[in-house]
């Protein structure tokens, strides 16, 4: 098994597995947060409910954090190896039928921006100002107030658009490639998987972006 994990193929399985954890998390994060479009109470109650069970919370956080760390470290390792393997660059790069997609070519750069986004995102929200509110007699964190405050800044909303825009490419390429890396792809599935990955990435990012846009436009 050590040989497997040290091989180039084995490392792609690790990249795929850890990426997949986050691909799944994106949906689990985006969908309930859509509550912000409907009610501050529901939004806060949801935040309260997912943070109430500390054991479950820490377990999920541990999985997410370890996946992220492994994904990033492995990406750095592979990118460095791949640079060495490439050696010299060409004077001209392909731009006709033999050119490659933008999303696949700049995975490392997109990943770096997304990592910066995740760190800033945690500082702003999870470790941001702690407001309190009472919903149905239960004292809880007023996450809604913080989110509304943050999204008043056009710069912050713009930053969201840039990073989540990059995420469309990163997630769509990753979500399709994982089937390739895991070796579960068959010829007849190739086209369908690519389309599925694009739709998934666009749905996730549209969902996420609708939240700051809604707050920015309708919460003054």
Partner 1 sequence: MEKKQNINLKLKVWRQKNAQAKGEFKEYDAKEVSPDASFLEMLDAVNEDLIKSGDQPITFDHDCREGICGSCGFMINGEAHGPQKGTTVCQLHMRHFKNGEHLTIEPWRAAAMPITKDLMCDRSALDRIITSGGYVSVNTGNARDANNIPIPKPDADEAFLSAACIGCGACVASCKNASAALFTSAKISHLALLPQGQVERKQRALDMVAQMDAEGFGSCTSTGACEAACPKEISLINIAKMNREFLRASVLKKEEVGGGDMA
Residues 6+ apart with CB under 8 A from 48: 135, 138, 140, 141
* DSSP single-letter state for residue 137: T
128 DSSP 8-state letter: S
Our finding on whether 92 is near partner 1 (CB under 8 A) is yes
Q: Which residues share a beta bridge with 155?
A: none
# residues contacting partner 1 (CB under 8 A): 47
Q: Given the complex with partner 1, which of 188 and 220 has the nearer CB atom? A: 188
User: Residue 216: which residues within 8 A CB-CB, separation 6 or more?
Assistant: 151, 152, 154, 157
Exactly one of 34, 64, 78, 113 binds partner 1 (CB under 8 A); that residue is 78
What is the pattern of x (binds partner 1, CB under 8 A) and - over residues 109-148?
A: ----------------------------------------
Binding window for partner 1 (CB under 8 A); candidates: 27-35, 102-110, 122-130, 152-160: 102-110
Cβ atoms of 19 and 178 closer than 8 Å = yes
State yes or no: residue 155 binds partner 1 (CB under 8 A).
no
The C-alpha atoms of residue 73 and residue 76 are separated, in whole angstroms, by 5
Q: Which stretch binds partner 1 (CB under 8 A): 62-70, 74-82, 126-134, 206-214?
A: 74-82
- Applying the rule CB under 8 A, the residues between 186 and 215 that interact with partner 1 are 186-187, 190
95 binding partner 1? (CB under 8 A):
yes
Over 89-112, what HEC string results? CCCCCCCCCCCCCHHHHCHHHHHH
Q: Which of 49, 53, 66, 101 contacts partner 1 by CB under 8 A?
A: 101
Name residues whose C-beta falls within 8 Å of residue 158's C-beta, 6 or more positions apart in sequence.
none
Residues in touch with partner 1 (CB under 8 A): 1, 3-4, 7-13, 78, 81-82, 84-101, 104-105, 107, 173, 176-177, 179-187, 190
């Amino acid at each position: 098994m050590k040989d497997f994990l040290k091989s180039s193929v084995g490392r792609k399985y690790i990249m795929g597995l850890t990426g997949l954890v986050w691909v799944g998390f994106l949906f689990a994060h985006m969908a309930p947060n859509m509550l912000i479009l409907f009610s501050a109470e529901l939004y806060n109650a949801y935040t309260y409910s997912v943070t109430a069970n500390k054991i479950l919370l820490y377990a999920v956080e541990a999985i997410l954090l370890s996946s992220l760390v492994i994904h990033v470290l492995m990406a750095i390792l592979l990118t460095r190896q791949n640079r060495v393997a490439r050696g010299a660059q060409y004077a001209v790069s392909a731009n006709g039928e033999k050119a490659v997609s933008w999303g696949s070519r700049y995975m490392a750069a997109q990943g770096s921006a997304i990592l910066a986004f995740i760190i800033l995102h945690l500082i702003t929200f999870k470790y941001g100002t702690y407001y309190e509110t009472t919903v149905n007699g239960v004292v809880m964190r007023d996450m809604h107030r913080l989110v509304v405050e943050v999204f008043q800044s056009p710069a912050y909303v713009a930053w969201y658009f840039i990073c989540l825009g990059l995420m469309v490419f990163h997630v769509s390429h990753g979500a399709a490639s994982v089937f390739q890396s895991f070796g579960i792809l068959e010829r007849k599935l190739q086209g369908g998987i690519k389309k599925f990955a694009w739709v998934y990435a666009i749905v996730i990012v549209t969902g996420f972006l609708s939240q700051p846009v809604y707050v920015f436009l309708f919460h003054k």
